[in-house]
Amino acid sequence: MPDPSQEHVADLLSLPPEVDELGGLFLEADRELYVVGGSVRDAILHRETDADLDFTTDAHPEEIIRIVQPWADARYLQGIRFGTVGARKGDLRVEITTFREEVYPEAGSRRPHVTFARDVKADLSRRDFTINAMAVRLPDKLFVDPFRGLYDLGHRRLRTPLDPEVSFGDDPLRMLRAARFVSTLGVAPEPEVVESMRRLRDRLEIVSAERIREELSKLLLGPEVIAGLRLILETGLADVFLPELSALRLEQDPVHKHKDVLAHTLAVVEKVEPKLPLRLAALLHDIGKPATREITSEGVQFHHHDVVGARMSEERLRALRYPGDVVEKVPRLVEMHLRFHTYGDGWSDGAVRRYVRDAGSLLDDLNQLTRADCTTQNPRKAAMLAELQDELEARIARLAEEENLARIRPPLDGNQVMERLGVPPGPVVGEALDHLLELRMERGPIDEEEALRLLDEWWTSREEP
């Protein structure tokens, strides 16, 4: 990572000219304005960021509104009770917050109590980590770093500006954010940070599921995702919001040995692409194993852990308030992740078509999860599974080219069925179409004449006593 001097940090910030205009307005009003937080950190790291610019100021909210009035095309006041005023100038969106301190005043409180701080150093002292407690004053571009965040960033250290107990007491979500930064920035938390996370982990219970969800999602998409996950496991944070993950530390039976399920899960997460539904599916794909673990004469078995895990993953995702499309996709991937393992027994083209139909838009993710799920240390077995996966995907590609698998339909429509059978709309039409679709899946393309004959056969057999 580049190690710029303090004098040159401001030069790394790519700020539009409108920001200098804004800084000038605050200067004219005899108020200070600083760009702060992730924007400064990411500029030093030369990282792209889609986040809106965050500013802090000694002006109180009503003053902020007055100062930005001639500059902004629009103002947003929904955060004003926390001291934040939003504004838009063309495509540029900014948030400007009065110097503040933010604490949870009571043990069971979910809402922070906000008080305004005296100066920028006091404001920066209440930020989560030193790497986010750097600021650049506008318009003169003075770099402010009272807690040596630049040094910590250069040395990949994660520290809090004040004692970790104070920082995490202000906002317990910061403990999970520490794991997120370990994953996304490759930093290493200082021992006192880890110890405080371990001691204060139960405080995370007062944080809303939505905020936890956002941090977990960002953690899962980081390049050092395993380090981030190990930190929430080591400190016990996972026990608070994702106990199914900790439960994968199954006791290893000395006689009926089986692989370490937790280590396997982490390996699978690391192997799949950083796409949220796919990483979540990798994280949760084996959570049904503890509930289905059984020791038999053939060793340790986990019968139907895919089905149990799909149900458990849906429950956990709903508890974390994930959106509906994620709640739909992830359990489906968990439920289907073992299906491939019967392919070696010999799948017909019909079985391949059903696999594609059942996977739907998740087919590529499912194939990737299936490949990642092979973490065997046996080279011969690994090569055999990879060869089978290659063969299945080649068959899918061939059938898709020949038949357009994504658009397979019954060879007749509902009107044709009703006309042929002389029946009105109702359940029997649906049954007939389901029967024809299964025949189409098994046999491949069926022309209309053959479809009508097959429909007649089905209808006759259905009417027979």
- In sequence order, what are the beta bridge partners of 126? none
> Do 205 and 73 share a structural domain?
no
> Do 14 and 147 share a structural domain?
yes
> Do 46 and 133 share a structural domain?
yes
Q: Structural domain tally of the chain?
A: 4
Task: Please check the confidence at residue 426 and state whether its pLDDT lies above 50.
Answer: yes
Query: Residue 338 corresponds to which amino acid?
Result: L
> Do 29 and 166 share a structural domain?
no
Among residues 314, 354, 324, the alpha carbon closest in space to that of 438 is found at 354
Q: What is the pLDDT of residue 202?
A: 95
> Do 136 and 181 share a structural domain?
no
Q: What is the pLDDT of residue 163?
A: 96
> Do 392 and 302 share a structural domain?
yes
The CA distance from 76 to 336, in Å, is 45
β-strand 92-98 against 53-57: which pairing, if any? Answer: parallel
Among residues 332, 210, 222, the alpha carbon closest in space to that of 269 is found at 222
Band (pLDDT 50/70/90 cuts) for residue 12 is confident
Residue 311 lies in a domain: yes
**Percentage of the chain exceeding pLDDT 70:** 89
Task: Please check the confidence at residue 102 and state whether its pLDDT lies above 90.
Answer: no
pLDDT tens digits, 247-300: 998 655 444 455 688 999 999 999 999 999 999 999 999 999 988 887 766 666
Residue 266 lies in a domain: no
> Do 212 and 283 share a structural domain?
no
Among residues 295, 336, 294, 293, the alpha carbon closest in space to that of 313 is found at 336
Residue 261 lies in a domain: no
Are 135 and 56 in contact, with CB atoms under 8 Å apart? yes
> Do 436 and 306 share a structural domain?
no
Q: What is the pLDDT of residue 255?
A: 45
Please list, in sequence order, all residues whose beta carbon lies within 8 angstroms of the beta carbon of residue 417, skipping any fewer than 6 positions away. 423, 429, 432, 433, 455
> Do 126 and 41 share a structural domain?
yes
Residue ending a domain, among 113, 128, 154, is 154
User: 434 is in which domain, residue-wise?
Assistant: 411-463
Please list, in sequence order, all residues whose beta carbon lies within 8 angstroms of the beta carbon of residue 232, skipping any fewer than 6 positions away. 176, 179, 219, 238, 242
Q: Identify whether 146 is preceded by a cis peptide bond (ω within 30 of 0).
A: no
Band (pLDDT 50/70/90 cuts) for residue 421 is confident
> Do 72 and 20 share a structural domain?
yes
Q: What is the pLDDT of residue 365?
A: 96
Beta strands in 329-431 (DSSP E): none
Among residues 169, 166, 135, 165, the alpha carbon closest in space to that of 149 is found at 135
CATH number of the domain where residue 233 is located: 1.10.110.30
Task: Please check the confidence at residue 51 and state whether its pLDDT lies above 70.
Answer: no
The pTM assigned to this predicted structure is 0.83
pLDDT tens digits, 369-393: 999 998 877 888 889 889 999 999 9
Q: What is the pLDDT of residue 344?
A: 76
